Structure 1
Amino acid sequence: MHIDEYPILVEQLCPGLFIRIDEPGLAHPFPPKGFKLRTDADVAKVMALGLAHVYCIPDKSDRLPISLEELDGLAGKRQKGPWTAARTPVSAELSSLKRETIERNKDRLERFAACEKRYEKAMDKVVEALKKVSSPNAEVLEAAGEVVGPMAETFLSDLDVLINVMTAKMRDEAKHYHALNVAVLSMMLAKEMGLDKAAIEEVGIGSLFHDVGKGRIPIQRFSKGNMITMNKVLKEYYMEHPKIGAKMLAAVPGFPPSAQMLVLQHHELLDGTGFPARLQGAAVALGARIAAVANVYDRLCNSKDGTPVRTPHEAMKALYKKRGPLDPKAVTMFIRKLGVYPPGSLVELSNTMQGMVVSANIRDSLRPSVKVYHPDIPKREALIIDLTIETELTVVKALRPEDLAPDVLQYLNPGKQVSFYVDAAPRA
Structure 2
Amino acid sequence: MTMSHDSTEYPISVDQLCVGVFIRLEDSDATAPLLWRQGFKITSEKQIEKLKNIGLTEVIAVLNKSDRFPLPADPGPRPEPQPAKKEAFKTPVSRELFSLKEETLRRNKERRERFKRCETQYDASVSRVAQLLRQVSAKSEDAAKEASGVVSAMVDTFLADRDVLVNLINSQPTEELRHYHALNVCVLSLMMGKELQLSGEHMHALGMGALLHDVGKGRMPVSQLSRGRATVMKHAVEKYYQQHPALGAKIAQDLPLFPPQGVPVILHHHEAMDGSGFPQGLAGDQISSLARVVTIADIYDNLCNIGISEEDESPLTPHEALKHIYNKRRNAVDSRMLSVFVRCIGVYPPGTVVQLSNGLVGMVVSINPLKSSRPAVMVYHAEIPKKEALIVDLRIEEELLIDKTIRPEELPREIFKYLSPSRKIGYYADSVAAS
What is the aligned partner in structure 2 of residue 199 from structure 1?
202
2:138 aligned with 1:135: yes
Deviation string, structure 1 residues 198-228 (Cα, Å, up to 9, x no partner): 1111111101111111121112223442111
2-structure distance, mates of 1:33, 1:56: 11
Answer with 100-109 or 49-58: which moved more: 49-58
Structure 1 letter corresponding to 2:348: Y
1:386 aligns with 2:381: no
Structure 2 match to 1:317: 323
| Structure 2 equivalent of residue 415 of structure 1 | 422
Distance across 1 between alignment mates of 2:24 and 2:294: 52
Structure 1 distance, partners of 2:181, 2:426, is: 10
SS of 2:24 mapped into structure 1: coil
- What is aligned with 1:40? none
Judge conservation of contact 1:351–1:393 (CA < 8 Å) in 2.
yes
User: What does the per-residue CA deviation read over 1:29-86, in whole Å, with 9 as the maximum and x for residues that have no partner?
Assistant: xxx7249xxxxxxxxx9xx9543743333875679x99xxxxxxxxxxx979748732
Residue pairs, 1:213-252, within 5 angstroms: 213-252=216-255
Percentage of matched positions with identical amino acids: 40
Could you tell which deviates more after superposition, 285-294 or 189-198?
A: 189-198
The aligned residue for residue 184 of structure 1 is 187
Counterpart contact for 1:162–1:359, Cα < 8 Å: no
Cross-structure match for 2:41:
33
Q: For 2:357, which of 322, 344, 350 is the aligned residue?
A: 350
Q: Tell me how far 1:95 sits from its aligned partner.
A: 3.0
The corresponding residue for 1:153 is 156
CA distance in 1, matches of 2:140, 2:251: 11
Check whether the contact 1:163–1:422 (CA below 8 A) recurs between aligned residues.
yes
What corresponds to 1:38 in structure 2?
Answer: none
Check 1:81–1:98 CA distance in 2 against 1; reply closer, same or farther (3 A cut): farther
Q: Give the Cα–Cα distance (whole angstroms) in 2 for the partners of residues 275 and 328 of structure 1.
A: 19
Q: CA deviation at 1:194?
A: 2.1
Q: Is the 8 A contact 2:365 2:426 kept in 1?
A: no
Q: Which of 253, 257, 261 is the matching residue for 1:258?
A: 261
- Distance in 1 between residues matched to 2:141 and 2:330, nearest whole Å: 37
Please give the per-residue CA displacement for 1:355-411, whole angstroms capped at 9, x wherever unaligned. Answer: 111111111111101111112221111111111111121211111112211111111
Give me the whole-angstrom Cα distance separating, in 2, the residues matched to 1:272 and 1:252.
29
Write the deviation string for residues 289-333 of structure 1: whole angstroms up to 9, x where unpaired: 000010111111111444322111111111222211210000011
TM-score normalised over the length of structure 1 = 0.84
* Inter-partner Cα distance in structure 1 for 2:56 and 2:305: 53
- Corresponding residue for residue 373 of structure 1: 380
1:100 maps onto 2:96 in alignment:
no
The code of the aligned residue for 1:96 comes to S
1:277 to 276, 280, 283: 280
Q: Give yes or no for contact 2:273–2:284 (8 Å, CA) kept in 1.
A: yes
Q: What is aligned with 2:29?
A: none
Q: Can you give the 5+ residue segments of structure 1 that lack an aligned partner in the other structure?
A: 27-31, 36-44, 67-77
The change in CA–CA distance for 1:34 and 1:274 in structure 2 (over 3 A counts) is same
Shift of 1:94: 2.5
Taking structure 1 as reference, are residues 159 and 177 closer, same or farther at Cα in structure 2, changes over 3 Å only?
Answer: same
CA distance in 2, matches of 1:407, 1:336: 32
Q: C-alpha separation between the residues in 2 aligned to 1:391 and 1:162?
A: 24
Match of 1:8 among 7, 10, 34: 10
Give the counterpart letter for 2:339 in structure 1. Answer: T
SS of aligned partner of 2:88: coil
> 2-side partners of 1:377 and 1:200: how far apart?
41
Write the distance in 1 (CA, Å) between the matches of 2:281 and 2:396: 48
Q: Distance in 1 between matches of 2:170 and 2:293?
A: 24
Structure 1 SS opposite 2:293: helix
Moved more, 251-260 or 325-334: 251-260
Deviations 1:92-137 (CA, angstroms, capped at 9, x unpaired): 2233211111111111111110100000110011011111112334
Confirm or deny: 8 A CA contact 1:115 1:423 kept in the other structure: no
AA in 1 matched with 2:41: K
TM-score, normalization by structure 2:
0.82
Counterpart amino acid of residue 257 in structure 1 = P
Structure 2: which amino acid aligns with 1:314? Answer: E
